[in-house]
Amino acid sequence: MAKTKIAYFCQSCGFESAKWLGKCPSCQQWNTFVEEVLEKPNTSVPTWKVSNSTTQQRAAKPVAVNDITYTEEHRTLTPDAEFNRVLGGGIVPGSLVLIGGEPGIGKSTLMLQLALNMPGQKVLYISGEESDRQIKMRAERLSAVSSGQLAVNEKSEIKNPKSESNQSCFILTETSTQNIFKQIEELQPDLVVVDSIQTLHSAHIESTPGSVSQVRECTAELLRFAKESATPVFLIGHITKDGMIAGPKILEHMVDTVLQFEGDRHHVYRILRTVKNRFGSSSELGIYEMLGEGLREVSNPSEILLSQRDEQLSGITISATLEGMRPMLIETQALVSTSPYGTPQRNANGFDTKRMNMLLAVLEKRCGFKLGAKDVFLNITGGIRVEDPAIDLGLAAAIISSHEDMPIPAKTCFAGEIGLSGEIRAVNRVEQRIAEAQKLGFEQIFISKYNLPQAGKGKQISIDLSRYTIQIKPVANIEEVFGLLFG
């Protein structure tokens, strides 16, 4: 018999060492090394037949870029438009997608809802956390199929007999990768969902499921299967208390796409954010509403992020932001009050606190507002987090409105970045922001004057004003904004 090999792995970053170390030399964390037994049996990973017969094995020699033939990758569209958006336009054959999120946020619901609604696709849903009866109970609650139409047959197959596309979803409750690959070889599915990667274990590694070596080995086997068979695989991953995806960092490097499912369990809205994507933009997001019968996609997020008010209140503005290729209008709220303590409080929800302190310093230095002894609170409604600098102008206007206790005129929108000298800087893709504000019925929008064409100033970021019916107000600095709003 082969000699058993013992290695030590860092639970934080996956660094491997031959002996135990108190401090990890890679991530500088203390007391993170655990002992794991490694033993490589003679069993081998099955060789998968490539679904495309025209695909040839790569030659082990350099090839000129001009000699490489490229055809546009065919993507499989899902019935979920928001899911297609975050994936970059659909599911790419042979892709490996990792989805992470907090417990109870709706990861399993999202993937089961996707598996039940793939038209003409044979989907294998692998669960290592729940039994087939639990999955059956969740499937009956989903809005895609009504209760009583689903049935689990002898092969753990969930079907909707009234579906015109004759779609089918097969459920497999297994944690051993060797048994999983045997079932995959018999079933030949078009899509595989694994819930979750931390529950799988491989016979190639003698360690507990969820350890660094097991997660890495199981992901490598699934990656090989996905690439050789051109079958897309979706992995559901756990996260740590810090919000990072559990397991070694190499897990995120191995997969093609990393999606983060965010949101508060006490609120109905969920955000599916793209963290990494080799087949599209890595700054897209999809918005869902959690209902009793499943997740409902939100096609127009601006309407849910804007509250309906009967009266004008101070400290509330509307800002035009961009998330990937999608323009959105969000409501920004500010509250400025006298501090009852010696040190004023500065708190921001959904916005960078350091950037809020910069905006307060600009308002105090350039506009003369005495905010040093004031408590300032900022809030981005809807529970989303915004990093677009174009909302600086809207936040500054909300702070001024709350400080002076004067409401902003109705149907007013803002899109501009504020510099340290108080100037309003131009933002990118301002035409999409203006079009979104006009579509939702806003009457005026404040933008930087540097977004307008200027004669004799060289190449400028220009827009065509004749295309819009909304009143566009170009401003140069924060003092001009204050004069136009409050006189």
Q: Residue 280 annotated as binding?
A: no
Torsion of CA 364, 369, 372, 374, to 10 degrees: -140
Q: Residue 247 annotated as binding?
A: no
Q: Residue 243 annotated as binding?
A: no
Q: Residue 284 annotated as binding?
A: no
Cβ neighbours for 279, distance < 8 A, ≥ 6 positions apart: 73, 87, 88, 89, 92, 95, 256, 257
DSSP 261: E
Asked whether the beta carbons of 273 and 262 are under 8 A apart, the reply is yes
CA distance 319 to 330: 6
Structure tokens, 338 = 């006298």
Q: Residue 107 annotated as binding?
A: yes
Closest among 409, 415, 416, 393 to 329, alpha carbons compared: 415
Partners of residue 471 on adjacent β-strands:
444
CA atoms within 13 A on the CB side of 34: 12
Q: Residue 299 annotated as binding?
A: no
> Per-residue b/e over 188-197, b at no fewer than 16 CB within 10 Å?
ebbbbbbbbb
Asked whether the beta carbons of 255 and 96 are under 8 A apart, the reply is yes
Residue 99: C-alpha distances to residues 187, 258, 273 (Å): 24, 6, 10
- Cis amide prior to 196 (ω within 30 degrees): yes
Q: Residue 431 burial (CB < 10 Å; 0-12/13-18/19+)?
A: middle
Q: Residue 103 annotated as binding?
A: yes
CA distance 238 to 209: 13
CB atoms < 10 A from the CB of 425, how many? Answer: 15
Q: Residue 448 annotated as binding?
A: no
Task: Give the number of residues written for the chain.
Answer: 487
> Per-residue b/e over 218-239, b at no fewer than 16 CB within 10 Å?
bbebbbebbbbbbbbbbbbbbb
Annotated binding site for ATP: 101-108
Binding residues, by number, are 101-108
